[in-house]
Structure 1
Amino acid sequence: MGRGKIEIKRIENSTNRQVTYSKRKNGIIKKAKEISILCNAKVYLVVFSSSGKMAEFCSDSTTLPSMLEEYQKHSGKKIWGAKHERLNAEIERIKKENDNMQIELRHLKGEDITPLSPFELIPLEETLQKGLACVRDKQGRALEEENKQIAMILQQHQIAWNGGMARELDRDYRHGGRGDYSVQMPFSFCGQPIQPNLQGNK
């Protein structure tokens, strides 16, 4: 007994709709892959879900720009205008610039420099020297700032310590002078008894 014919209409239940989309999307991508292999066909498939998520498949050596150009050639419809050409040229320029930067970065790391001529190595050496000088300058400024912060902290601690000693001396003085003032006296007088003048004045 064969399956009954399913009426093609929008599935109202969101969960069932998502499950059906996932199954049918995988199925259509599988069919696109099969036809590209079996028939040596150029296939570029793009599917967008209701939420805007994209799924795509492209056969070997097939890109979207090449497919669009071929579509324009056979259909006569211009969908790849001057604006898109400019964007494509800008993309290619950025890609080339990025490739050059990657090569320069490898050279700065000391990689792939064997084939370089002395004239190509000179600007590379200058760039490294400038970078080294910049790093040293930043390190010097960082150390200077760190030393300033340490000096400020030490000064704050010294002020706090001096203030505490002054308060302690003042408290001892107010309570009958029981404090030990020898620490504040000159070294030559600390703990030394006063010697009387035994010979007297002559």
Structure 2
Amino acid sequence: MARGKIQIKRIENATNRQVTYSKRRNGLFKKAHELTVLCDATVSLIMVSNSGKIHEYISPSTTTKQFFDQFQKTKGVDIWSSHYEAMQEHLKKLKEVNRRLRKQIRQRVLGECLNDMSFDELRGVEQEMEGAVEVIRKRKIRMISNQIDTTKKKLRSATEMNRNLREFVCSVP
């Protein structure tokens, strides 16, 4: 009995769709392996499921990088250069941000490189420092207030215990 032809369209049932994907994926991987063994071909197969899971097959005699290098050479394209250039540009921006932050640290924390700053920049640094000092003072006052409150509670508790002890001692014959 021959199998009937199926209509090629999206399978609506999610479970059936997943089962079909898994079976056909395994079939493709089997065919890729057979091509590699029978024909001594270099085969690479990359599949991404609708859930984002990546499945790949690469001939055992090669690596993914070697495969793509050969692809580039054959097609005459450089698939890595645009990515490399974008990464170099990003690196340059990060280095500039790093340089600026290091300079700010030297200026604000260590007091270095202040001669390179304009009057307005110096005024900005001064205002930042005054703001930081104000925040530190408020925190210090809050901590001291908490310590005072805690000490008062301990003193009240000790006084209460002392009074109770005196009453106890006085009441004992």
Report the TM-score when normalising by structure 2: 0.50
Structure (1 or 2) with the greater helix fraction = 2
TM-score, reference length from structure 1 = 0.44
Larger radius of gyration: 1
